[in-house]
Structure 1
């Protein structure tokens, strides 16, 4: 009890300490933690905590993005032409409640994710693999209890068996996602969560678990357990019953500190060990090279960013006259490939890398991280070329574009200098090509912009995608398929691309999948549905007192959170 009292005091006053103790890791972030329920974890703030309290069946092998190793499973086999996965589960694994993990807990976990599958969670890709639909039972009547129940079962040997309706080459990678971490069935039912039965499943279809009882009272098998929390602080302790190697750091405090200056000073004083930064330009100027700080640069970036050119703009407020008369644009303005090519040649990629990314950026050939299998560096790239942009603009709309000009209104995310600068670059270069060309840019709140773009109402939008699982499909289908997640924002459709993407989903042959993704990339270069924004080079920094796995280039994995169990502090 004395130890808990001491830690509780530390939780509240650590910001005033001269230096945090060696057995305690202090993390400061700018915002809230939306949830601590794995079943709805779909953001980095939540996963940073959930990943340390809970565990999945398998995980990534060190820094590898392609090799998966057992975690709560000990091994697995694939049969039935790639449609059946059988997992042996680790024995004598304890939940924080003290209960021993069984196959029934694993089965319950995945059925719960399929039943509650909603737009607030990342369970759409699990549902797609196991039920053949991204939707829940309320939105797709083909999703029945019988289908959910059959998709994941425990056999007589206590093995967990998944039965897929079709081959999914990314299925194992999907199981490594934070949201598929195993929860305890009996404990969850006891605190008011779904009881796991057919009798009550309909009451839980599509239910948002963000504020669930399990979020308030988490109970995983991970190396750390939650001791207490309030609106601004979370206190974790190493779990004595953990099945794996015991963590070197006993206590972890996660604090919400909205003010950047306060976080920076806490790190430099030694009050905090890890803080949320503010982007390369600010962090390099105010943190890099300071005493007591370790800076690690040139880390892999696994996000992809593009400026979408919507071929069917449904938001009439951005169209001006709605005609190609020099006073506006028609709703299908970007449906002419020559317009899209002209815009692509009008973006200054190297200038963006220099001014926004401070030289730490890379222009990619396709909207896929260059560290992922399937990336083809040989695909052609657009460059800033005013002469070529002029050539394509003169061809567009049978010459009417060049003759009449246009007025385009494009929004960008408010309070994001990188997005604003990207649109300013485009505006400046396009307007310099023809005095009749006008691009009006304006700031817009991100929540509104996201909602409107999903309805196809934004003319252009700069948006990124971070991976749910380490497979090319998660990017290529998202961006390029006519029924992909981002399709409503671009309304681009190419029959060949759709065919190649579906073929890539139906084979486990790596070479064939890579060939198909290369075809998609080459076709996308020809058709220019997006302006590919250069990818920043990732970096991280922390107190020099903290060392361990995930904090060096050799051990950093962009697909996972920082695992506290692999850290030491002096």
Structure 2
């Protein structure tokens, strides 16, 4: 490496998928040469041969992937270099309707289900089931502002002007608007209603469990008077006098985000009858398209750690080339400089100090509302054995699981 990269060992020790070099190169992927890796870095996933072709050495083989039905079937790889897995077959199925998932679990047609925090009460006490609860997550759920809304043919932005019937492209570029939303939001109500009271209010992008987390970083709290004062400052008073109207798209089936959207609507509209907010459910693929086309107004989005290092939160949230700033058009050159400084610093104490500065920038600029660092849970049949939780591993680790 040309300079220090603090998360290097953490990334090397993390999970990954390994493919045979010759096979990958034969199908248009990286050939392993140092001088060519940038050409293949971060390609569009469907364009890769490995997107729907398997050639690994893991404990399971891909038997079937029904992209239409959103169902994957794995079968045991008996020649696995360790001992064969305990499960002969694994079916991973997308079932959007919670009542269907609950019924399948109750009848024994499903061994393990994932559900929203506020659905746990409907799963508790089912005969023959176990809930693994209060599992910490290195994650954060946010409300994100789009600084440059693409208003062309965009019904979510209404008229596309500040005329009481829409919002202009730069509506959320006004810091007074963002602060108003920050003070209006009901954080306690969101935590109890969307997350069943489980989780904590984050102190910025660096969450608990990571180097750089600092509980002294201030947070926004609900304050109606401050919200009104900020709205009266926005656009020289025109926002308060004229009003606005827009729609919040949220992920269909995500009850936590639906609850959050309703809270935004209720708290903002209660301040001024000229403020109008609607919400609508969209499929995940459609939400991604809204992000890429910059047509969303505000978004409820989460970030889960790829590896347990603060750079994996500071960079995607605050750097100009980060995942969220590229889509919401947030820019702060000082944040860019500090992100680079922190990731290039080996001394943990010095890194921690820099990440506090970044958390303060996030607080002062308000590009996002950091709503909750959630906990999670999984509900499974009591015949499931060998299951364990790893907050940095996505999905389930099927190799250790058996049924008896």
TM-score interval, normalised by the smaller of the two chains: 0.7 to 0.9
| 253, 259, 263: which one aligns with 2:90 | 253
| 158, 164, 174: which one aligns with 1:336 | 174
Secondary structure of 2:143's counterpart equals strand
CA–CA separation in structure 1 for the residues paired with 2:385 and 2:314: 36
| 186, 196, 201: which one aligns with 1:348 | 186
The root-mean-square deviation of aligned C-alpha atoms, in Å, is: 3.1
Question: Aligned pair 1:378/2:216, yes or no?
Answer: yes
Please list every run of 5 or more consecutive structure 1 residues that lacks an aligned counterpart in the other structure.
1-163
Deviation at 1:260, TM superposition (A): 5.5
TM-score by length of 2: 0.84
Deviation at 1:330, TM superposition (A): 2.7
Question: Aligned pair 1:277/2:110, yes or no?
Answer: no
The residue that corresponds to 1:557 in the other structure is 391
Secondary structure of 1:234's counterpart equals strand
Aligned length: 392
The residue that corresponds to 1:20 in the other structure is none
| 292, 307, 313: which one aligns with 2:149 | 313
The residue that corresponds to 2:75 in the other structure is 236
The residue that corresponds to 2:125 in the other structure is 289
Deviation at 1:482, TM superposition (A): 2.0
Structure showing greater relative contact order (alpha-carbon pairs closer than 8 Å, 6 or more residues apart): 2
Deviation at 1:389, TM superposition (A): 0.6
Question: Aligned pair 1:542/2:380, yes or no?
Answer: yes
CA–CA separation in structure 2 for the residues paired with 1:533 and 1:283: 20
| 138, 157, 173: which one aligns with 2:10 | 173
CA–CA separation in structure 1 for the residues paired with 2:54 and 2:163: 61
The residue that corresponds to 1:123 in the other structure is none
Secondary structure of 1:168's counterpart equals coil
CA–CA separation in structure 2 for the residues paired with 1:524 and 1:195: 37
Deviation at 1:367, TM superposition (A): 2.4
Q: Is the 8 A contact 1:363 1:533 kept in 2?
A: yes
The residue that corresponds to 2:349 in the other structure is 511
Q: Is the 8 A contact 2:141 2:374 kept in 1?
A: no
Deviation at 1:404, TM superposition (A): 2.6
The residue that corresponds to 1:391 in the other structure is 229
Q: Is the 8 A contact 2:311 2:343 kept in 1?
A: yes
Change (3 A) 1:348 1:238: same
Q: Is the 8 A contact 1:482 1:492 kept in 2?
A: yes
Deviation at 1:278, TM superposition (A): 2.9
Secondary structure of 1:504's counterpart equals helix
Secondary structure of 1:475's counterpart equals helix
Please list every run of 5 or more consecutive structure 2 residues that lacks an aligned counterpart in the other structure.
none
What is the correspondence of 1:406-445 to structure 2 with a 5 Å cutoff? 406-445=244-283
Change (3 A) 1:427 1:236: same
What is the correspondence of 1:487-502 to structure 2 with a 5 Å cutoff? 487-502=325-340
Question: Aligned pair 1:226/2:65, yes or no?
Answer: no
Deviation at 1:363, TM superposition (A): 1.1
Deviation at 1:458, TM superposition (A): 1.8
